[in-house]
Amino acid sequence: MEPNLKIMRKINRLNSSQPSDQSGFSLIEVMISMGVLTVGLLAFLSVLCVAVSANQTSQQDMIARQLASETMESIFNARNTSQIGFSEINNTTATPPGIFLANSQPILCAGADGILDTADDASCTTAAGAPCPNSGVECLTEPGPDGIMGTADDVILSLSNYTRTVLITPLVSGGSTIPTLVQVTITINYNAPQPRSYVLEEYISEYH
Amino acid sequence: MQRRSNPIRGFSLLELMIAASVGVFLVGTAVKLYSIGLTMSWQTSQKAQLQQDFRAAANLLERDLSMAGSGALGQQGLSNGSVGLPTGNGSTIPVYPCTALTTCNYIKSAPVAYPDSPTGAPSLYSIMPGPSLGITVTAAAGPTDIITVNYADAGLPLNCYTGTVNAAATAVTFILPSNWSQTCVTPPNIVPPALPPSLIYNSTGNTVGLQVGDMIMFGTNALGVVTGAASTCGVVAPNLACYQVPFATGDPGHVNQPGVATGSLLQYAGAAVPSAVRLISVTYYLAIPASTGLPTLMRIQNGQPPAPVAENVVYLKFTYDVINSSGTVTANQATLPAGTTPSMITKINIAHMSMRSQGRDTSSKSSLSGYGYESLDLQTSLAARSLTSQQQYPITVTN
């Protein structure tokens, strides 16, 4: 019996000397740690969201840039082909009036004249030939999640959240207007989802 | 009994249940977040990759198309109308796009005939539309388009040389006269080199200049395809250099037809050509190479083998704005209206260039939803600036 009692005493001593080491987490501790973990996870999620939205924005930036350069091309082209006179390269609100609509306009396709942002701008169609949604505002036809064009899941991406403003202003030198040169400013406004804009500014002369 | 009240005791059932449920909730949330994160990072990387490919392809395409018809170093270029190809008695219909001396079977494994001028003669134009001539990637979307642009190569000083066609119209001798016009290499007021660059070798002995398969435009009436290596020939004083270049019959595109009187080099047989300029001819089309099985935007230039520009381009369509002889513009034409020719094109509209990402087929990985393809579509317009700034509008030419 003697040796056994000795061992028991030893165990008792050990137990009484380290009681707190053997206890589990309290509920409060778990709750706090859960809160910390949640904050961490939310931070991770917000980083993801930022990355995804930046990616989305860059795609919209690309579209805006393309829209602006397309509009500028059509103005230069009309001048080069003598399709329109130089005096017509002006806003409809100017005196004398030109052919380019003033203020922000929806992104419609060029009408019969092939020039964008004029009164005869027409509705756009999808790749399949159907009218674009949102009153014919230009729409992109993407192959969709299956990656195949012409299937039911094709994505019709309407450019209804873009607007185009063509501003044509005379250039003044030494107090007098230069008769053979104007400044063309094309502004594409869009929401990505915060409002953004792309501005393309060029000079266009009567001669080429 | 005292020992039983010692601090060694387990969790109560209640504690265990709470802890377990909190744990399960946490782990579940973490797994869900991880899964969302995985999908998002997949989509993000696919999108980024797609945008990068897309931008590169669009830039290259736009840059090539906007060069259409540009002349070089004061040459006439192609701006004015078109260049006739062999036609009439005994002729074979010329075709494009071809690889040097091998084949022209690239568009749907078949050659494409050059467009006809209003008089019915096959002709080379600055912009050669190919509506619905390309492959069909999906039946529902229909056939894709091809497009070819031609412009003068400013890099090869062929215009410094005087060209003489042999009697059989199968070779041209290019001679550099001692009084060569130095403005054929450099603009005025810039010190020109002692000699223009060689038509065969550069200073390090590498082959440059004329290559087999290159298309040369002579004057504005004839074309020839180089069919062999250029060789030097005996220089007769006071000339400075002499090269003989073969334009023998038998090129796969049937451009060299010395036996045909109309539209061939025969019209200059035994005589000097008014001018010579190398053309850069670029064709864009879709193909599905067997090695990848993916629809790919291909670019073929000047008899060189076709090169892939971007994979996963699933649709390609163009429309054109044309101006007729009375100055009326007809916009957005998929095929040129009656009474107009490709030389009347004033604007090229890229109606669709649809690309998808590398992606992962949704059907093969149904448990991971959202793993499909990311996609983009390019729609833009390009002024045919090299034509519009040189041609007189309204167009009165008939070829």
Q: What is the pLDDT along chain B (399 residues), one digit of tens a residue?
A: 444 555 667 778 898 899 899 889 989 988 888 888 888 788 888 888 899 999 999 999 999 998 888 874 445 556 557 888 999 888 999 999 998 878 999 999 999 999 998 888 999 998 999 999 999 998 988 999 999 999 888 778 888 889 999 999 999 999 988 888 877 777 777 777 777 777 776 555 566 678 888 999 988 788 999 998 888 888 888 888 888 999 999 899 999 999 998 889 999 999 999 888 889 999 999 999 999 899 999 999 988 899 999 999 999 999 999 887 777 888 999 999 888 888 888 899 999 999 988 876 555 544 445 567 888 899 999 988 777 666 666 665 444
A 143-172 → B contacts, CB under 8 A = 143-151, 155, 157
B24 interface with A at CB cutoff 8 Å: no
Q: What interface predicted TM-score (ipTM) does this complex get?
A: 0.78
| CA B391 distance to own-chain centroid | 23
Q: Is residue A74 part of a domain?
A: yes
Domain, as residue range, for A190:
47-205
B95 interface with A at CB cutoff 8 Å: no
CB contacts, 8 Å: B30 with chain A: 37, 41
Q: Domains of chain B: which residue ranges?
A: 48-388
Q: Is residue A142 part of a domain?
A: yes
CB contacts, 8 Å: B357 with chain A: 147
Q: Is residue A144 part of a domain?
A: yes
B375 interface with A at CB cutoff 8 Å: yes
Q: Is residue A34 part of a domain?
A: no
The verdict on a CB contact (< 8 Å) between B33 and A55 is: no
A 47-106 → B contacts, CB under 8 A = 48, 51-52, 55-56, 58-59, 62, 66, 69-70, 73-74, 76-77, 80-83
Instruction: State the total domains in chain A.
Output: 1
- For residue B353, report the phi and psi dihedrals to the nearest 5 degrees: -130, 95
Q: Is residue A101 part of a domain?
A: yes
Pick the residue of A77, A84, A204 with the most B CBs within 10 A to test the interface with B by mutation.
Answer: A77
Non-local CB neighbours of B332 within 8 Å, separated by 6+ positions? A109, A110, A114, B319, B320, B321, B349, B351
Which residue of chain A comes nearest to B329, CA vs CA?
A: A113
**What's the Rg (C-alpha) of chain A?**
34
List for chain A the helix, strand, coil content (%; round to 5): 40, 25, 35
Q: Is residue A7 part of a domain?
A: no
Q: Is residue A30 part of a domain?
A: no
Helix (H) or strand (E) run with residue A46 in it: helix A27-80
Whole-model pTM above 0.90?
no
What whole-number distance in Å separates Cα of residue B353 and Cα of residue A37? Answer: 46
The two structure tokens encoding residue A207? 């001669």
